[in-house]
Amino acid sequence: MILEKAAREALTYLFSEYLKGPAVIYPINKISRKYRIDPVEFSDYLSDNGWIRERWIYENGDVACKVSIMGIEQINPVYVREKLRQLIGGLGEAGGSKPLINILEHKIEQYSIALDTVRQLEQLGLIEIRHPKDSIVIQLTEEGQRCYQRGAKSSFTLMV
């Protein structure tokens, strides 16, 4: 119970920081101390559930990490579904593929979030990343096409 409560607080904190700076890792020691949990064991728990990534454990015992898309979904599933719906919808409307640079729409502040979403969709088997000469193209797989045709309903929930 305590671990779940601490995890929810950590994910909420990491997500709020992620929105400010998605390319930065953030410390979680303050939260682990609050709940009297070892920070490395706490980060192991978060990592084992797929809720964090890029974990750094420092010699002094500090632990810093980033929230993963699955971690965001734990605390804000609407945000995740909207990002996935936008990406799949945009690919579907473009005929099934689109250069990555066009997906990012030149919004540098959204770059890391868009790449995280692309990575998650690739892990789910909904897209493929292709590298034709001097570009990166994101393409819907057959399963991604089916999701697009279904209208991006609950099929985007990552926990399924």
98 DSSP assignment = E
Of the candidates 54, 118, 116, 50, the residue with the CA atom closest to the CA atom of residue 88? 118
As a whole number of angstroms, the distance between CA 71 and CA 53 comes to 9
pLDDT, residue 26, reads 97
- pTM of the predicted model as reported, rounded to 2 decimal places: 0.80
d(CA 25, CA 62): 12
Q: How far is CA 94 from CA 30, 74, 99, in A?
A: 45, 30, 10
Give the model's pLDDT for residue 149: 85
Q: Supply the pLDDT for residue 22.
A: 85
Q: Which segments of the chain belong to CATH 1.10.10.10?
A: 76-156
CATH hierarchy code of domain 2-72: 1.10.10
Domain 76-156, what fold?
Arc Repressor Mutant, subunit A (1.10.10)
Per-block mean pLDDT, blocks of 10 residues, the chain (160 long): 96 95 93 96 96 95 94 93 84 86 68 82 89 86 88 46
Q: What is the DSSP letter of 158?
A: T
Q: What pLDDT score does 159 carry?
A: 38
Question: What torsion do the CA atoms of 146, 147, 149, 152 make, to the nearest 10 degrees?
Answer: 170
Rg (CA), the chain: 17
Tokens 């119970």 appear where?
Answer: 1
Note the pLDDT of residue 105. 67
d(CA 106, CA 116): 16
- Tell me if 112 sits within 8 A of 25, measured CB to CB: no
